[in-house]
């Protein structure tokens, strides 16, 4: 176990829950936000202006409470998703199509096999994973992966039982395929989790290419969407497009580019999402059923060539604005809200894994607005792929080159 970061002591912003007891903390947070410079100092790629104050480049904050960061292991093989098991160990997906279990000591299991074959070319592979709410009794897992079909590659969802000896996943079944398929190997989305009603919520990408990009706006396509299904792969009851002609009943929201982050707020229960923009324009969104989040009609980003996208607009009536966006990009992947007690000012803060930005973004959110941003572990120079909270209240993050970090109190 390697200690790679000394205890941090600095000025901090405190969060608040909005009740009378925490009014003083709200004032402290706002005061700090007014006096600290934004963490982003580079020139933006786009000349588009934000829709409202604080939508981007919010004031920087720093953590006051001492905490410790450790590398538990660097022996993982391109990890993509991480989730905490009931006993505190971490179940981790690896891009090539296997899973591992890592203990608090850093010991890594042999590869867990038995999953359907994945197409791990490009951005594909074994992606996000989640546990059945009754996992302690039924040992059921659900995961997203890139599936190669005759029609092309697509995002699929499967389920199976983790064997008692933890060497394989048994009775695996593919329960949903996000059609239509496409010959490309980019923008699969791939995060998955359970909502409070026991339905699966998962994300897809619009598959990146110019020819597939418009599918984000098409209700007869499962690409560029957030979807909500039962554990048997059927449309969940109450979905917003269940009675819309020619629309897929599994759809929950649309107009997304490539969604790799999903998380429910621990107090409000709201669904939050992050997605990749192109050159700039990475987004954090508060998801509401049936809403259109705009891609590719509106975006705060540019083409990778530097050309403008579409009509080069960031706002349009009827299309949802991001709560927050980044330009230059964060390259946001997995994310989680903090509910632990070891670092009090992190309470209900959102932590987002940054890939090309090589840091974990901590966002302070109050009244559904971002009021502070901090960059954690930037000195590690790692592509952070996913982050979750463990049973011990610490945060655990995996990186593309095989590391698992523990971030929190001792």
Active site residues: 187
Strand pairing class (282-287; 271-275):
antiparallel
3-state secondary structure of 222: coil
Cβ atoms of 218 and 286 within 8 Å: the answer is no
Q: Exposure pattern of 100-135 as b/e (b: 16+ CB <10 Å)?
A: bbbebebebeeebebbbebbbeebbbbbbbbbbeeb
* Beta strands, E only, 90-133: 90-94, 98-102, 126-131
Task: Mention every residue, 6+ apart, whose C-beta is less than 8 A from residue 155.
Answer: 127, 144, 145, 146, 147, 177, 178, 188, 189, 190, 202, 204, 205, 222, 223
Cα–Cα distance measured from residue 352 to residue 361, given in angstroms and rounded to the nearest whole number: 5
Cβ atoms of 373 and 48 within 8 Å: the answer is no
Cβ atoms of 372 and 363 within 8 Å: the answer is yes
On the 0-12 / 13-18 / 19+ scale of CB atoms within 10 A, 2 is: exposed
């Amino acid at each position: 176990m390697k200690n790679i970061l000394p205890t941090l002591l600095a000025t901090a912003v405190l969060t608040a829950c909005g009740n009378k007891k925490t009014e003083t903390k709200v004032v402290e947070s706002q005061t700090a936000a007014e006096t600290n410079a934004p963490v982003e100092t580079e020139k933006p790629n786009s000349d588009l202006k934000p829709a409202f104050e604080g939508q981007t480049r919010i004031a920087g904050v720093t953590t006051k409470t001492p905490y410790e960061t450790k590398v538990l292991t660097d022996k993982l093989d391109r990890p993509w998703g991480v989730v905490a098991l009931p006993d505190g160990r971490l179940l981790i997906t690896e891009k090539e199509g296997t899973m591992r279990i890592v203990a608090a000591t850093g010991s890594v299991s042999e590869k867990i096999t038995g999953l359907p074959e994945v197409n791990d070319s490009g951005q594909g592979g074994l992606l996000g994973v989640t546990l059945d709410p009754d996992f302690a009794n039924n040992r059921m897992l659900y995961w997203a992966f890139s599936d190669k079909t005759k029609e092309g590659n697509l995002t699929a969802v499967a389920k199976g039982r983790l064997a008692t000896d933890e060497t394989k996943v048994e009775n695996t079944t593919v329960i949903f395929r996000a059609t239509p398929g496409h010959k490309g190997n980019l923008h699969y989305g791939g995060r998955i989790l359970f909502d409070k009603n026991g339905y699966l919520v998962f994300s897809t990408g619009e598959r990146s290419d110019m020819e597939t990009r418009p599918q984000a706006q098409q209700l007869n396509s499962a690409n560029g969407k957030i979807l909500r299904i039962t554990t048997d792969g059927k449309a969940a009851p109450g979905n917003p497009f269940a009675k819309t002609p020619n629309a897929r009943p599994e759809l929950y929201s649309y107009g997304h580019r490539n969604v790799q982050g999903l998380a429910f707020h621990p107090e409000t229960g709201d669904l939050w999402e992050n997605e990749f923009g192109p050159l700039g324009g990475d987004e954090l969104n508060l998801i509401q059923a049936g809403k259109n989040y705009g891609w590719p009609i509106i975006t705060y980003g540019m083409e990778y060539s530097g050309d403008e996208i579409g009509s080069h607009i960031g706002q349009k009536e009827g299309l949802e604005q991001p709560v927050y966006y980044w330009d230059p990009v964060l390259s946001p992947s997995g994310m989680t809200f903090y509910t632990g007690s070891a670092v009090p000012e992190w309470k209900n803060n959102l932590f987002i894994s940054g890939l090309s930005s090589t840091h974990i973004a901590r966002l302070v959110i109050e009244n559904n607005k971002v009021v502070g941003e901090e960059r954690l572990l930037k000195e590690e120079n790692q592509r952070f792929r996913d982050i979750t909270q463990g049973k011990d209240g610490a945060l655990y993050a995996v990186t593309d080159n095989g590391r698992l970090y523990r971030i929190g109190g001792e």
